[in-house]
Structure 1
Amino acid sequence: MEPVEPVAWNGGEEGAGLVAEQGKVVVITGASSGVGRACARRFASRGWSVVLAARRTAELEEVAAACRKHRGARALVVPTDVTDAEAVEHLARRAVTAFGRIDVWVNNASVAAFGSLDEIPPAVFRRVLDVDVMGYAHGARAALGVMREQGDGTLINVSSVVGAAVVPYNIPYVISKAAVRALSGSLRQELRLAGQHGVHVCTVLPSTMDTPFFRSAANYSGRKVLPMAPVYTAERAARTVLRLTRRPRRETYVGPAGRLLGIQSKLAPGLVERLLARQMDRSHLSRKEPAAPTSGNVLRPLPEAAAVSGGWHGRRRTAVRRLAVATLAVGAVLATGRRARCGCGRR
C-alpha cells in the first residue's frame, strides 16, 4: 500500500494541547456528511490523522482535502459499506497499515426510515437495522481487536436521544439507537471483566442535529420530515466527541434539551411518551407539506452533494424553540411532582 505523507501546514486552527494530539489516529464512519464530516474537520484541526469511511468516494475525497489543510493532519479515504463485515475489517487494516495504530474509532454511519410500522417496506426496515446496528457491531469488533492489542483506545458509538426517549413513526431508527446504547454497555462490561482498563467505550446521544439527515432519510409517511426543535449544529456534536477522547465517559448528551429529555424519560416515562408522540405528530412530520414515498439513502447513496449542515439551524429560531422546550419540561416536572404527592398513577 502507498504511504500516506503529511502535507505542509496551510493555516488551520491551533489551541492548547495541539502538539500533544498530533499524530493520533481516528477512524470515522459516515464521514462524508453531517456529524461525521464535522468530526473529521474537528479532529484534523487538532493535528490528528483521520481515516474517512462512507459509501461515496468523491465526497470523502472532499473531506480529506479539507482535513489535509490543517497542520500535522493526514487523511486516508477508505470507501466502506459498514454492513459488510469484511469491508469494515479491511478499513481497520488500512488504518493500521497507514498510521500504525487506531486511537479512536467513531461509529457514526446511520440511516433512517420514517413512517408507521405497516408503511415502511420490510427491505428498507431491515437495511436500517443492518446499517445502524450491525454496522456498529462490525465497527466495534474491528476497532476493539486493534485496541486490545495496543492496550488502549476509545470506541465512540453515536446513538441518539431517541435511544433514551422513544418517538413514533421512526421505529427502525429508534430500535437501532436503543440497541447502540445496549451494545456499548455490554462492551464496557466485557472489557472490564477482561482487565482491559485502557480501552474505553463511550456513547454519544445527540439531540436534533442540523445535518442533511432529514432530507436523506427514507420516508413513507406521506408527510415532509422536519427536524424536531431545538436544533443544534453538527459542530457541537463534533466538539463533544473530541472531548470524550480526552476524558472518556459512559454516556453524554449533545444539547441541553436532549439531556433534560433523558432525565424526564427516567422520572416520568409514560408522560414523556405521550408528550413526544404529540410533538412528533404535530411538528416532526409536516401537516402542510406532503412527501412522495422514497427510500432516501437507505438502499443506496443519493447523488446529491454532501455537506455538514442541513440548513435547519438558526440562532433566533433555536432560542425560541429552546424556550418552548424548557416550558414543556417545567410542565412535565410539575405534573410528575403532583402525581408523586397524591399517589396518582401508581400500579
Structure 2
Amino acid sequence: MSTPRVVLVTGASSGIGEATARAAASRGDHVVLLARGEPSLERVAEDCRQRGAASTLVLPTDVADDDGVRAAVTAAVARHGRLDIVVGCAGVVAYGRIQDVPVEVFDRVLDTNLHGSANLARHVVPVMRDQGTGSLVLVGSLIGHLAVPDMSAYVLSKWGVRVLVRQLRVDNRDRPGLTFGYVAPGGVDTPIYRQAATYGDSVGRPPFPVVTPERVAARALAVADRPWLPSQVGAANEIIKLGYTALPWAYDRLVGPLFRVIAQDLVAPVTHGPGNVLEPDQRLNALRGDQGNALVAVARNVREVVRRRTGR
C-alpha cells in the first residue's frame, strides 16, 4: 500500500478545486483545503473524510493575500512536514468590456487568478526545493490561449497563469525532482458562471462542449505525476486554438457572434454587480453548476438572436 501523499488545493470550496480534493481523498491522501469561505470548506472536508482521506486540514485563505498564503503554507508544513502535490484552482470571473468593469473588480480578478497563483508558487516552491521533490499544478483555461469578447480581465489573468508555469519550469531546472503542471479546460460545469461579476448585456454560461469538474481534477492530479500529459481538457480546445493562431482574421470576425450563442445566456435576466469577485458568497458554492444541457442552451440562444433581428 502506497504512503498517503500531502495534497494542498486552493479554491477547494467549489467546482474544480472541490473535485480535486475529493479525488485526492478517495485515494487516501492527506488533503489541505484552501478557499475564502470556511463553511463551504468544512462541507468539502467532511465529504473528504467520508471518502477516505488520511486527514483533512481546513485553512480559510484568500490567495490574493500573500501573507495569508504564507501562513497557510506554513501551517500545512507544520502539520505534515512536507507538500507533495499542490493544485491551484482558485479563480473568479468578470464579464464586461474593459471600460465597463469597475477597476476594483477588474484588478481583483487579476489578483485572485494571476497574483494568487504567483503567491502560491512563491511560498510552495521553496518548500519543494528544500524537499527536492514535489509537484505544483496550476489550472488555467483555454481562454489563456485566446481572446474572447467581454472577458478581458479573465483573459489577461489566464494568459499570465500559463506563462507563470513556463517560467517556473525554467527557473527550477536545477531541481529535477520538481515538476510544474498546467491544465487548461474549456467549458466546465461549475458554479463560477453564476457567481461571476457581470457588467455586460448578458450572463455567462459554460460553452459547449462542457466537461465535468471531476474530469479536470483527474487530469490535474495525473499531470502532477506525469507533466508531459496533454494540458488541454475538452474535445474542441485544440481546434479553437488552431483557428486563433492559423486564421486570426477569421477567428476575430467569428468569435463575437459565436461566443454570444455558445458561451452566454441571452434569455436569462441580467443583474449587474460584482458577484463573488470582491467577497466570497457561500450560497452557490457546490461541485457542479447545474446549468443544463449546453446544446439546448445554444438552440435557445439562436432563437433569441433570430427574435431580436426579426422583431418576432
The answer to whether TM tops 0.5 is yes
| Residues 107-118 of structure 1: pairs in structure 2 closer than 5 A | 107-118=88-99
* Distance in 2 of aligned mates of 1:79 and 1:149: 25
Q: Deviations over 1:128-181 (max 9, x none)?
A: 111111100000111101100000111101110000122010100000000001
Equivalent residue in structure 1 for 2:271, among 289, 292, 304 = 292
Q: Which residue of 1 aligns with 2:106?
A: 125
* Distance in 2 of aligned mates of 1:83 and 1:97: 22
Q: Which residue of 2 aligns with 1:203?
A: 182
Distance change in 2, residues 1:74/1:273 (3 Å): farther
1:74 partnered with 2:49? no
* Distance in 1 of aligned mates of 2:128 and 2:51: 26
Equivalent residue in structure 2 for 1:102, among 79, 83, 90 = 83
Equivalent residue in structure 2 for 1:179, among 141, 160, 168 = 160
| Residues 253-272 of structure 1: pairs in structure 2 closer than 5 A | 253-272=232-251
| 8 Å CA contact 2:265, 2:297 repeated in 1 | no
Q: Deviations over 1:99-119 (max 9, x none)?
A: 111011111101111011111
Distance change in 2, residues 1:218/1:320 (3 Å): closer
TM superposition shift of 1:313: 5.1
TM superposition shift of 1:229: 1.2
Q: Deviations over 1:39-62 (max 9, x none)?
A: 000011011111000011111011
1:55 partnered with 2:36? yes
Normalising by the residue count of structure 1, what TM-score does the alignment of the two structures yield? 0.82
Normalising by the residue count of structure 2, what TM-score does the alignment of the two structures yield? 0.90
1:68 alignment partner, SS class:
helix
Aligned length: 298
| 8 Å CA contact 1:203, 1:250 repeated in 2 | no
Distance change in 2, residues 1:100/1:167 (3 Å): same
Bigger mean CA deviation after superposition, 296-305 or 128-137: 296-305
TM superposition shift of 1:90: 1.0
Q: Which residue of 2 aligns with 1:240?
A: 219
Percent of aligned pairs sharing the same letter: 38
Q: Which residue of 2 aligns with 1:162?
A: 143
TM superposition shift of 1:97: 1.1
| Residues 197-346 of structure 1: pairs in structure 2 closer than 5 A | 197-249=176-228, 252-312=231-291, 314=293
Q: Deviations over 1:300-326 (max 9, x none)?
A: 011414211000354xx56998xxxxx
* Distance in 2 of aligned mates of 1:39 and 1:313: 22
1:296 alignment partner, SS class:
coil
Q: What is the root-mean-square deviation of aligned Cα atoms in Å? A: 1.9
* Distance in 1 of aligned mates of 2:234 and 2:125: 28
Task: Structure 2: state its 5+ residue gaps.
Answer: 299-312
| 8 Å CA contact 1:217, 1:298 repeated in 2 | yes
* Distance in 2 of aligned mates of 1:214 and 1:38: 17
* Distance in 2 of aligned mates of 1:63 and 1:120: 32
1:31 partnered with 2:12? yes
TM superposition shift of 1:280: 1.5
1:83 partnered with 2:64? yes
| 8 Å CA contact 1:222, 1:292 repeated in 2 | no
| 8 Å CA contact 1:67, 1:73 repeated in 2 | no
| 8 Å CA contact 1:201, 1:250 repeated in 2 | no
Q: Deviations over 1:68-120 (max 9, x none)?
A: 12335211000001111111011111111111110111111011110111110
Q: Which residue of 2 aligns with 1:137?
A: 118
Q: Deviations over 1:198-256 (max 9, x none)?
A: 11111110110000010000001132222221111101101101111221237601112
Question: Match for 2:240: what amino acid?
Answer: L
1:31 alignment partner, SS class:
coil
Bigger mean CA deviation after superposition, 160-169 or 240-249: 240-249
User: Which aligned segments of 4 or more residues in structure 1 are displaced greater than 6 angstroms?
Assistant: none
Task: Structure 1: state its 5+ residue gaps.
Answer: 1-18, 322-347
* Distance in 1 of aligned mates of 2:296 and 2:223: 27
Q: Which has the larger radius of gyration?
A: 1
